Amino acid sequence: MTDRVLRVANASGFYGDRLSAMREQLEGGTVDVITGDYLAELTMLILGRDQLKDSSTGYAKTFLRQLADCLALAKAQGVRIVSNAGGLNPAGLAQVVRALAAELEIDVTVAHVEGDDLRPRAAEFGFGDALTANAYLGAFGIAEAVRQGADIVVTGRVTDASVTMGPAIAEFAWGRDDFDQLAGALVAGHVIECGAQATGGNFSGFDTVGDLAHPGFPIAEIAADGSSIITKHVGTGGAVTVDTVTAQLVYEIGGPSYLNPDVVAHLDTVQLAQESKDRVRISGVRGSAPPDTTKVALNRLGGFRNSADFVLTGLQIEHKADLIKSQLTAALASDPPDEVVWRLDRADTADPQSQWAATALLRCQVRDEREAPVGRAFSGAAVELALASYPGFTTTAPPAKATPFGVYRPEYVPQTSVPHRVILGDDTIEIPVPPLMETTLDPDRAADVPPAPGGPTDRLPLGAVAYARSGDKGGDANVGVWIPQSSPDPERAYAWLANLLTVDGIRWLLPEAADLAIDVWPLPNLRGVNVVIHGLLGDGVAASTRFDPQAKALGEWLRARVVDVPEGIAL
């Protein structure tokens, strides 16, 4: 077994992330590979709309800005760059990258991975009028491109962790049945894929990580056995701790079995340890054969939407809300929108000492397949009430135009039906499907939960005991909750948490989820619990009418709920 490690540095967690991250990773210390994740379900919709205007687009243009700044430096250091910035048009991006390299007079070999785009076969698969239809590919195409000498590999819709797994597969010559090694790299890739979220960004314990003015981006040092160390460059902001890594590990997951086209990683086997400052070891990850299907992310144009936020101040908030509702409903009666959603958020207080403390917000959101009922008709009707409605009438913004929205849904197709190709110069390399795939995966079983601790209790926020991280998966929301390393009694605290966060407990703590399907998965090895709330986000972020359409703050709401906390376990 070789002692060599592969240092994989992330330089983008989403389309719009810090442009300087690639240069920071190259200049901050030694790395072998720079990766970038630019794609999300919403991003695919944005790129699809871009292509409606110009078929030559469909890729993440900010990646090119990073390359223009950093390509010479990466070439001089012998650093490979692997990115899914190709989006809907990896071939087009590869061509533009070659042109950029020629303009800069830098000799690089560029490969791209394709096959994920199933739009031409939408009718075959019953996808309907899909604007985008992209299957999630695995990492072995990237690995082959690296083996063939590519300096830059751009892909379409591969799994987020594939950009990390692929170079590791090539480096250590892992085979298709090296499931534990593949699973270890999958977990490492999942931890670093969202950039600074692994180094203290969006972290419940943000006040414990020091300087967050400019947090460093994460690095995974991957070993031949699939274990890894998550770290960052010395001197950069933020921190890498067991808790910051746990926060990203439980982000946007489901049950303990984390599915990927190449392997299933069993998250209930993950072991985390703080090896030294800003160095967290991930080990013990067990893997098994992947499923014989892969997910397809579908987006279609759902129509148009608009909104208005009415500011209600002082007394009779409910009566004022009823008045504007009845007035606007009457004004739209001749051609009402397909969907009208009202939401009243009460931030007002008794005897307010400031105007803001006297204020509530009433939001009206409208959607329709047609633009007319939610465009000028809606905005005009809202503003025309300005001098004829409740006292103190005002809005947070002027009337707006209707904007198109998309509807997301996942589908699943056989891996054997999805092509997976590497294009390198004039050569096309076909990547076969895994030789061993499971038709029926064993269902996840919830881990045994220790008995709840007894004794005296205090009324405290849940966040006085636990940290949380939440996010979206299409129309579903996930929130991972865990006991931090600073807990004075972590075992007792976990026993309390695991008994609190049952399905019924979540329905009580989060009333908006009371009528929805909920999954709860204890993760004893992380002293945590993962919760999936199905349908909380409706048709996904692009169509959601929620105030927090990606559920990014759901975990912080949960932590704010006041519960009975046994004495001796609060932070």
pLDDT tens digit string along 82-133? 999 999 999 999 999 999 999 999 999 999 999 999 999 999 999 999 999 9
Q: For residue 451, tell me if it sits in a domain.
A: no
Same domain, 222 and 312: no
> What domain range includes position 19?
5-118+136-256+271-281
Question: Which tens digit of pLDDT belongs to each residue from 291-347?
Answer: 999 999 999 999 999 999 999 999 999 999 999 999 999 999 999 999 999 999 998
pLDDT above 90 as % of the chain: 94
Query: Residue 512: phi, psi to the nearest 5?
Result: -65, -15
- pLDDT given at position 544: 83
Same domain, 66 and 185: yes
Domain boundary among 407, 423, 441: 407
Q: For residue 182, tell me if it sits in a domain.
A: yes
Same domain, 358 and 224: no
Query: Residue 160: phi, psi to the nearest 5?
Result: -55, -40
- pLDDT given at position 210: 86
Same domain, 174 and 244: yes
Same domain, 403 and 465: no
Q: For residue 252, tell me if it sits in a domain.
A: yes
Same domain, 275 and 315: no
Rounded to an integer, the average pLDDT of 147-169 is 98
CB 106 within 8 A of CB 72: yes
How high does pLDDT run on average in the chain? 96
Q: For residue 446, tell me if it sits in a domain.
A: no
Structure tokens at 84: 């899914």
Same domain, 277 and 355: no
Q: For residue 265, tell me if it sits in a domain.
A: no
- pLDDT given at position 249: 98
Same domain, 556 and 508: yes
- pLDDT given at position 540: 86
Q: For residue 126, tell me if it sits in a domain.
A: no
Same domain, 54 and 171: yes
- pLDDT given at position 319: 98
Q: For residue 291, tell me if it sits in a domain.
A: no
The enclosing domain of 371 has a CATH number of 3.30.70
Number of domains in the chain: 3
Is the pLDDT reported for residue 42 higher than 90? no
Question: 469 by DSSP, 3-state: which?
Answer: strand
Rounded to an integer, the average pLDDT of 243-252 is 97
| Antiparallel, parallel or unpaired: β 80-83 and 152-155 | parallel
Q: For residue 226, tell me if it sits in a domain.
A: yes
Nearest to 380, CA basis, from 337, 423, 332: 332
Residue positions counted in the chain: 571
Same domain, 193 and 306: no
- pLDDT given at position 1: 62
Same domain, 96 and 170: yes
Domain boundary among 384, 407, 430: 407
Question: Position of tokens 């009975």?
Answer: 564
Apex CA 350: angle with CA 347 and CA 353, to 5°?
Answer: 85
Same domain, 276 and 331: no
Rounded to an integer, the average pLDDT of 262-267 is 98
